[in-house]
Amino acid sequence: MTTLKKIIQSFKEFLFGAFYMDLYRDSARMAREYKDFINLLLLGEFLGLPILSTSITLRLIPYLYGDLANWKRRQLAERDVTDEVPDIM
């Protein structure tokens, strides 16, 4: 009986991967882009560009501090034009 449950579970995971993985990747990419945008706004505020008010920026810093290292790595990574081609079509 347990092998039947394992087979059914494997089939469910396969169907999830077949139908929803692309949607999951797109939503994760969009969430990452929105986070990058917020980090860019905060960086602009630190550089002296008056985009947001200072009190709002100071409230957002603790929530975004842990992701700053990953954000810097993503921004400094070399990109090629062909990396964006699948998103266009």
Per-residue pLDDT of the chain (89 residues; tens, 9 = 90+): 689 999 999 999 999 888 888 888 889 989 888 888 877 777 776 666 666 666 776 777 777 777 777 777 877 777 776 766 666 65
- Are 22 and 44 contacting, i.e. CB atoms less than 8 angstroms apart? no
Regarding pTM above 0.75, the answer is: no
Q: How far, in Å, CA of 6 to CA of 65, rounded?
A: 41
Q: What φ, ψ does residue 49 adopt, rounded to 5°?
A: -85, 120
| Contact call for residues 38 and 61 (beta carbons, < 8 A) | no
